[in-house]
Structure formats: structure tokens, C-alpha cells
Structure 1
Amino acid sequence: MIRGWYTGASGMTAQQNRLDVISNNLANVDTTGFKRDTAVSKNFSELLIRRTRNDGVYKTPFGSADAAPIIGKLGLGVETNEAFTDFSQGSYKETTSTTDMALSGKGFFTVLTPQGERYTRNGNFMIGKEGLLETKEGYPVLGEKGTIYVADTRFFVDKDGIIYDSEDMREIERFKTVRFENERYLKKQGSSLYYETDISGPAYIAEGEQRPVFLQGFVETSNVNVVNEMVRMIEVNRAYEANQKTVQAQDSMMSVLWSKTASLRG
């Protein structure tokens, strides 16, 4: 019975973690470039149950062996394994602003932060006081030669991410767009920023067919589907209540057992 408490409690904890992830997805449904997370759970090792009767053991010249048939398996609970980020493409929203960029395909913009280079799908940029192209948080956007200096909004970006001066079509810079071997293992830092891990591998410049297409005057919306997230929230609430009732049932049975034991001893 005590095992039943732990099994039910582990299920409640896992559902609470799922609810936290879903709530964060819904809170960022209007965040540019946001990628939804999914809580991934795994079960504890299962216990193999066998019948323990005398006829389940047979004699051999070397001793005895267990011939009892398998009754089944007993689940020992569940735990949250990871929060998996879904990097599927979001839809596009037209802004007509020359400083806004969207990527069509896999890849990330590179920005410079106090912690080093970070990566984002949020192309909602602006021009800073010094004429640098920056994020809304004030982090400079990087080109392949360094920070991008555009001075004003009179610039043009082609599909390959090359920035030109609109007046004389002089090439200014090329966006530093990167890819990863295992992008699903990138970690979120906040403000739509990601950083690499040992498992994701280092960032490398996206070239050729691996390079995404640039869309100037557009931003990528989040890939959160509100209806799907609300359905998942209902599923989580029901699963949480089911585990809660399991714990309550186990508690009732243990209470009866204790009361019966106390009455027999009395």
C-alpha cells in the first residue's frame, strides 16, 4: 500500500510538471519566435510478479527451479525525463518594418550577450543609438564579420541574408546564421535565446541548402497551437485527479488496516 502512495504521488508530480510546461507555452503564444516545449516522462523499472505457490517449483537432479507462470507487471511510478523543445516552423506575420526578419527553414540568428554568443529565432530587431542592429533587449545582432552597423532603416536584405545599402546597393554585411547537429538539445536562456550544449554540438555557419531563406519585413510567430494546448491541459487535469484518487484510496485502505490491527491487539 505504501508503494501505491509513492506511485500515485509520482504521477501527480509528473502531471504538475506537464501543467507548468503547458502554462508556459500558453503564456508565450504571442511571443515572436517562441518554440513550444513538451514534457517527456518515463516510467520507473517495472516489477515482474510471479505466482508463489508450492506447485510452482519442480525438482531437478541439481536442486529446484521456478515454474510459476507470470502473473503480470506492476508499475512503480513515473518521472519527468526532460522538457523537449519543438523547433517546427511557426507562421509569418507581416510588419513592413525593414528591421524585422524571419527565417524560413532551420537555423538561428546569432546575437552577442554578456554571457557570449546566443541564438534566436526572434527577428524582431531594432536600430540602436550607435546605428547597430540590436534585439529588443539591446543585444547586438552579429554578422559574419562582427556586429552589424546599418545607421538607418534604408537597407535591403536578400534571401541569403546579405545586407545592402538601399541607395547604392553596396554590400554591408551578411547575417551570421548557424545550425547545430542536434538542435533539440539546445537550452533556453530566456528572452527567446538559446545556448549550445555538449550534446547539441557547436554552432556552425549555415551554407548552401542548409541556410534558411530570409524574409525582410516579416517576423515568425510562435508555433503554439492554443486549442491543442488547452486540450492537453484538460488531459493533465484529469490525469492529476486520477492519481489523486489513487493516493486517497491507498490512504483509506491503510487507515482500515491500522484500525483493524489496533482492534485485534486490543
Structure 2
Amino acid sequence: MAEEPQKSKMGGWLRDLAGIFVVIDETKTEEKPASTPAPAQPATSTSKTTAPATSTSTLASTPPASSDFVDDLRNRFRKILEEKNQPGFDFYEFSLMLLRTSTNPSVEHFKTAYEGAKLLNPNCNQQFLLESANFYKSELQKAFEATVSAGEQKKAALNVEKSNEQKQLNNEVANIEQQLGKLKQQIADLEKAQAEKLTALNGIEGKFNDKFVEIEQKIQATVTAKEGVANEISLIENGIKQYIS
């Protein structure tokens, strides 16, 4: 039972809960908070958890978290309710009293706990307990929404990081494709030039053959002409030797 109003620890426990979305694996090595039984829900009340709107990028195939992680979160929520315990005897103390008798209380357990509650708080009745329960449900919902909000913010930041990295990779892929296009064009140009050179190489004999023939003809003609002139000289030379003394 809390004797005095407790100071608000909103900032502290919100930071603790939000911290689960920074490095989830840390919860496996941290010392877990002391396990405090959570206030039981009234038998006539139906508890409904309303989660903040989630991002459309939530993966439908996301596997569930480990049971240890769920237990750690449950203990954190219990700790929050313990810190929010109101002065005097109310639903919180009634729940502790009830859960100490049984984890699955029956009608008799409820009646026995209620009789004890009236001794501790003469003003305790069904309406008082249900109104008190609403307070703790409200605090639990606040903690839940703050925790989920921290997760959504982390997810939004990851989406931005993913989008930026995806954009950068798309730009790099486009740049590489552009370079590949230039290289392919260069290769095509080189292949075309190679084909042209091979064609020229294959036709080189025909290109120079006529020139070689022409030169060879001129050389042979030169030899023939020289021999003709040389024969004339020899004829005259022999005539001089023979007929002139």
C-alpha cells in the first residue's frame, strides 16, 4: 500500500520502454525488473487494447518475439502500475491480495479478498474497485501507446534510411548501366573498326599486286632496253676492231 502520493515518473519509464526499440537484444542481458503481480481485471469488465495506427509497411509475416522478451515487457508494465499505485487501499492492493491466494481465483477467493478489503478500507465496494481499476487500465494504456509510438517512430526512421539507401543504390545502378552502355558502344565501334581492318588486310594482296606487276614489267623492259643498246655498242665496237686498222 502506498502511504504517500508518488512523484510522476513518466519520463523515466517512457524512456525505459522506448529503449526496447533501440537495441532489442539488450533485453536479454539486462537484469529484469522485479516481478510484481499485475492487478487482476474485474470479472465484469472487458479489457480492450487499442493500439495506435500502425504503418502500412508492417510485415504480415513478422515472427513473434521470444517469450523472454514478452516476459520482460510484461514486468516493465507491472513496474509502471506499481509506480502509479495510488495512496490508500484500492484496486491495486485488492489485486495483490487476491493473486496471493491464487493465480486463478475462484468465486470464494474473490469473496474472501473482498471481505478483507472492507476491513482495510470501509469505503471499499464494487463501484470503488471498478473505478480504481479504470485508473490502472488507463495508465497501462498510456504506457502501451507510448511504447508502440516509440516503435513506430523507430520504424519510420528505418523506412527513411531504407528509402535513402534504396535511392542511392538505384542511382549507382543507373550510373553503372550508363557506363556499361558507353562501354558496349565503344566495343561495337572497335569491333566495326576491327572488321574493316580485317577486310583491308584480306584485300591487301589485290591492292598491291598490280603495282608490283607494273614495276616488274618496267624492270624487265629496262633490262631489255639496256641489252638492246648494249648489243648496238658491241656491234659497233666489234666492227671497229674488225674493219678499221
TM-score normalized with structure 1 length = 0.27
Q: Which structure is larger by alpha-carbon Rg, 1 or 2?
A: 2
- Structure with bigger strand share is 1
Calculate the TM-score normalised by the size of structure 2.
0.29
